[in-house]
Amino acid sequence: MKLSRISVALFGAALLLSSGAIAKDANKTTLHVNEKLSVEGKTINPGNYKVEWNGSGPTVQVTLLQGNQTVATFPAHLTEQTTQNPANAYGSVEQPDGSRALTAIYPGGNHVVLQLDHDAATQQSASQGSK
């Protein structure tokens, strides 16, 4: 009797730990940036980045890393979509000075969008770059 209770308790603990690991991986993605972008006043150069976000929405904290170095941290709105993003991608918009600003991140394989500036993301001049 004690052995079966211990087995059930261990099985339950394993499920909890594995679901936490899965949820943690779900809040990470990689992103290839094709152009120089600005985000929260910081310049992001072309290259490969890791994107991590904390929170379940609607407002999350996003961290952009290159290697193990944090490049930028910023708030974003986590928005559910009906269709799955086919690949990791981002949205950007041209600024009055000709530079481009990051407006959204589309994690591939997910049904979510991380929107940085809701107003800029809806402008017609927004464009989307992909991996």
The verdict on residue 44 lying in a domain is yes
Looking at the structure of the chain, the number of domains it has is 1
Which residue range(s) make up the domain with 73? 29-130
The model's pTM is 0.71
The answer to the question of residue 10 being in a domain is no
pLDDT tens column, 48-102: 999 999 987 799 999 999 999 999 999 999 999 999 999 999 999 999 999 999 9
CB distance 114 to 105 below 8 Å? yes
Residues 6+ away with beta carbon under 8 Å from 49: 30, 31, 32, 33, 64, 65, 66, 71
Within-domain flag for 84: yes
Does residue 113 fall inside a structural domain? yes
What CA–CA distance (Å, rounded) separates 125 from 92? 9
Cα separation of 67 and 120, whole Å? 28
